[in-house]
Structure 1
Amino acid sequence: MEIRQIGFDDADNYLNMLLNLDNETKFMMFEPGERSDDINIVKARIENSINGDNLILVATEDENIIGFLSVQRGVPKRIKHTAYIVVGIREEFRGKGIGSKLFLELDMWARENNITRLELSVICSNTVAKHLYEKNGFEIEGIKKNAMIIDGKYVDEFSMAKLFNN
């Protein structure tokens, strides 16, 4: 298993992994069939990761992408020190330390890029992900009530953040 920054040649593999994740979990944003399968959208995100201010890390096994961590940095000057992250790992590879390895790479990138605040949200019932985030220095800052609708029911999300000292 390898953790690395995404490359231009990863577009199809990355999209396939995202589409599979949508079918494997209810904890991600998109429902099955809802995500666009337009490869040009994926290529644009990869371009912004490689040549812009954002980051996409991928976890690979053999030739397959099995997980990711994406980072979207704040654009206006007042929030340029912040970044919002999203993490997803294929079901069969969860619980094997991949998330922690992704977060180690994220921390190095954040420090190198003057990021002092990382933010994420997690569905309150997703205790496994919440534990991973807390283990990697994130703290709950609040609860977003009725943040999503899953299976016709409102669910709450924790707003979490990790602060770095300058």
Structure 2
Amino acid sequence: MSPRADAVRNRAKILEVAARVFAEQGAAASTEQVAAEAGVAIGTIFRHFPTKADLLAAIMKDTLAGLAARLAAPGATLFGVFTDLVASAAARRSVIDLLPGLEVAESIAQFRAVVASLLVRAQKAGEVRAEIGTDEVMALLVALCQGALRGGWSLSLQKSTLEIVFTGLRPVGSVVPGS
């Protein structure tokens, strides 16, 4: 039996509001505030997410699933993914800081698989050096997003930092698109 439509809507609204509230206020945000802003009773939150950790894990899983879907789009490119993720990280805080011990390994593995696919496509197109692996790309993505999250990067800093990384990823002597 599938969940009732109102239960599905409530869960989606709770996740949307909780992601924003935790991004704005960090771990200090309360589930009571989330309930009030989502227009649901606190019991509704606890029916869907028995603990705050469950709510945070659901936010991260939802975020990673959304990112994976965007990255798997036919027109997605590795450099475009870097640019989008850094811009997103620079624009807001994340629940990533609240994650220790949360069960999101499967979501992260799915996200990593999509990044690996984009890497292979970029390598086949001659845009990325063949010896670069998924581990290196994931490390760069994490480092850049953490820098953007914590550093309040301006658009010009995002652009210049990404260009340095992209230059390092490209085969020696390759022509930069648009130059």
TM-score range, shorter chain: 0.3 to 0.5
Higher relative contact order (CA 8 A, sep 6+): 2
Q: Which has the higher strand share?
A: 1
Say which one has the larger Rg: 2
